């Protein structure tokens, strides 16, 4: 997927990342993230969390039913 003149299609990336289980994902990406952060050489990091609600209608992939303060119930 790397080093090609043209980037692969979206389905290529999807098929590749579907091979990762939760366990394998943790084994690979936790050390990779740790290595990346350690090499940034940054003394302070600020993390911001956004608690806004995005209203979705229908059956969108990846959306979950949850609390919506604008439409209770």
pLDDT digits over 21-58, tens only?
A: 888 888 888 999 999 888 888 888 888 888 777 766 66
pLDDT at 56: 66
Q: Are 71 and 56 in contact (CB under 8 A)?
A: no
Q: How far is Cα 71 from Cα 52, in angstroms, rounded to an integer?
A: 14
Mean per-residue pLDDT for 15-21? 85
Instruction: Quote the DSSP letter at residue 12.
Output: H
Q: What is the pTM of this model?
A: 0.37
pLDDT higher than threshold 80 for residue 62: no
C-beta of residue 53 within 8 angstroms of C-beta of residue 70: yes
Q: What is the mean pLDDT of residues 62-69?
A: 69
The per-residue pLDDT for 31 is: 92
């Amino acid at each position: 997927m790397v080093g090609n003149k043209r980037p692969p299609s979206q389905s290529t990336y999807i098929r590749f990342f579907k091979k990762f289980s939760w366990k394998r994902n943790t084994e690979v990406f936790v050390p990779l993230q740790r290595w990346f952060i350690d090499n940034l050489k940054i003394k302070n990091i600020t993390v911001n969390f956004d608690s806004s609600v995005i209203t979705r209608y229908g059956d969108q992939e990846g959306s979950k039913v949850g609390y919506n303060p604008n439409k209770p119930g």
